[in-house]
Amino acid sequence: MSERALYGLLAEFPSAEALCAAARHVRARGWTRVEAYSPFPVEGLDAIIGAEKGWIAPVTLLGGILGGAGTYFLQWYAAVVDYPINIGGRPLNSWPAFIPATFEITILGAALAATVAMLALNGLPRLYHPLFEVEEFELASRNRFFLCLPACDPVFAPGPARDLLAELHPLLLREVPA
C-alpha cells in the first residue's frame, strides 16, 4: 500500500447482476458502509448495500403541513382578527374562500422542503469527490457499475479489502486517494 491517505478501494463491474453479486459478497463479509454506483437504478441494490431509509418524505410532509397551516392561519387572522369586514352577511371565518391559497402554498411548501432536504442530505452542492480522480469512474454515468469500499468502514484494511475485491474478478480495481 502507498503512504498516502485513502478514500477507499474501487472495483468496476460489467453488469448490474455482477454489481449486486459483489455487493452481497462484500456485505456477507461484514462490511457496513458499501457504496455502489450505476448508470441507472438497480432494483434491490439499496437493500443489498444496506442503504438507510431517507428523511426526504417526512421533511416533505412537514413542509406541506407548515405551508398549509401557515397560509390558512394567515388568511384567518387577516379576515377574522386583524381586519374583519362584513361583506354581504357572510361569516368572517368563511373557510371555503381560504382553501385555494392554502392548497397552493401546501404544495409549494412541500416542494421547497423536498428540494432543500434532497440537497442537504445528499451533501450538495459538492464540487469535488475523491472518486472523480479515477479516470474510469466517468463510465458510471454510461455503462459501468462500480463498488467502493470506503476507508471509513470499521473493518477496512487495505490488504484484505483488496483481496476481497480481487476474488470477485472486477474489470478494474483501484485505490482512491483521499
Of 130, 147, 122, nearest to 37 by C-alpha is 147
Domain coordinates in residue numbering, the chain: 6-53+127-177, 56-121
The answer for residues whose C-beta is within 8 angstroms of residue 129's C-beta and 6 or more apart is none
- Do the bridges between strand 145-150 and strand 6-13 make them parallel or antiparallel, or are there none, so unpaired? antiparallel
Q: pTM for the full model?
A: 0.75
Please tell me which residue, 2 or 63, carries the higher pLDDT value. Answer: 63
Tell me the backbone φ, ψ of residue 56, rounded to 5 degrees: -65, -45
CA atoms within 13 A on the CB side of 74: 10
123: left (phi over 0), alpha (psi -120 to 50) or beta: left
What pLDDT score does 71 carry? Answer: 98
What pLDDT score does 1 carry? Answer: 47
Are 17 and 153 within 8 A, CB to CB? Answer: no
Mean pLDDT lowest for which of 20-24, 52-56, 85-89?
A: 85-89
Average pLDDT, the chain: 93
